[in-house]
Amino acid sequence: MKIRELKKVLIVGSGAIKIGEAGEFDYSTSQAIKALREEGIQTVVVNPNIATIHTDKKFADKVYSVPIRTEFIEQIIEEEKPDGILLGFGGQTALNCGVDLAEKGVLERHGLRVLGTSIRSIELADNRELFKTTMQENGIPVPKSKKASDLESAIAAAREIGYPVIVRVAYTLGGQGSGVAFDEAKLREIAQRGLAYSRIRQILVEEYLDKWKEVEYEVMRDQEDNCTIVCNMENLDPMGVHTGDSIVVAPSQTLTNREFNNWPRKQPATPLPTSPPNYLSATHFPNLPTK
């Protein structure tokens, strides 16, 4: 579908402000609306959070202040008959809702095209096991890990990998439900919480890379699979301190020139199976402990 074929687009918002889903989604949604308006495309926004800028009448052509749930979204789709839907501007709430719409056949039933980041891309990024497999298939090293869908398999995975381990939750943003376990008692607590948070009841028990440097590359990719590194950044604190509690500096300060230039070149030429256009945040943990 070409841009000139789009007449109306539905944008799914983030809903109520919460940890990991705050002002950045309001800003990005506002910018998306501006870009669509420049192309003469009508915008319909679904977001019950009226404290946001993009729900103002000056921005969207129409706003629905209803919960971000599949039954409400489907009613709006039937009423508005949009040509496409954008899910990448509403945080984890919008992403999860989009996957639900796809799984229930709503998008296919209404012939609705997902613009930008596709459902498959969301699944690859949010499903911890799929993400790990994708990285390995493209020659990108990842820490030792095993998926778990219940407490028993989580405990078995931790015993195999060795403590400490970090528990990562599928289909959550901002580390919700995740945590570091140094023993089985703590693992039980974190794993039970993580399984409850995950929409597919899946967690990843992973080797904990404590005290490693954390270097991040911001990458832009277009529909022709052209990629460019916007910048690289480095956390002043090592792994073990949450990014939200640390300070990030751009560009990186402690990588040598050789390390800075060699790492992107070592990545595989095979395109990752994501749907353009995409904005990727690729975090790399070079084996350079700070201590």
pLDDT of 274 above 50: no
If asked whether residues 11 and 99 sit together in one domain, one would say yes
If asked whether residues 196 and 266 sit together in one domain, one would say no
Query: What is the arithmetic mean of pLDDT over 148-167?
Result: 95
pLDDT of 23 above 60: yes
CATH number of the domain at 130, please: 3.30.1490.20
pLDDT tens readout for residues 170-205: 887 667 788 999 999 999 999 999 999 888 899 999
Q: Work out the pLDDT band at 281, boundaries 50, 70, 90.
A: very low
If asked whether residues 158 and 190 sit together in one domain, one would say yes
Which of 84, 115, 146 delimits the end of a domain? 115
Burial label for 205, CB within 10 Å (0-12, 13-18, 19+), is buried
If asked whether residues 22 and 73 sit together in one domain, one would say yes
pLDDT of 287 above 90: no
* Tokens found for residue 234: 């480095």
User: Among 52, 47, 59, which Cα is nearest to 87's?
Assistant: 47
pLDDT tens readout for residues 63-120: 999 999 999 999 999 999 999 999 988 888 899 999 999 999 999 999 999 998 889 9
Provide the residue range defining the domain that includes 203.
Answer: 125-207
Q: Tell me, yes or no, whether 98 lies in a domain.
A: yes
Comparing 33 with 255, which gets the higher pLDDT?
33
CA distances to 100, 136, 272 from 269, rounded to whole Å, are 32, 14, 9
User: According to the model, what pLDDT value does residue 63 have?
Assistant: 93
User: According to the model, what pLDDT value does residue 55 have?
Assistant: 85
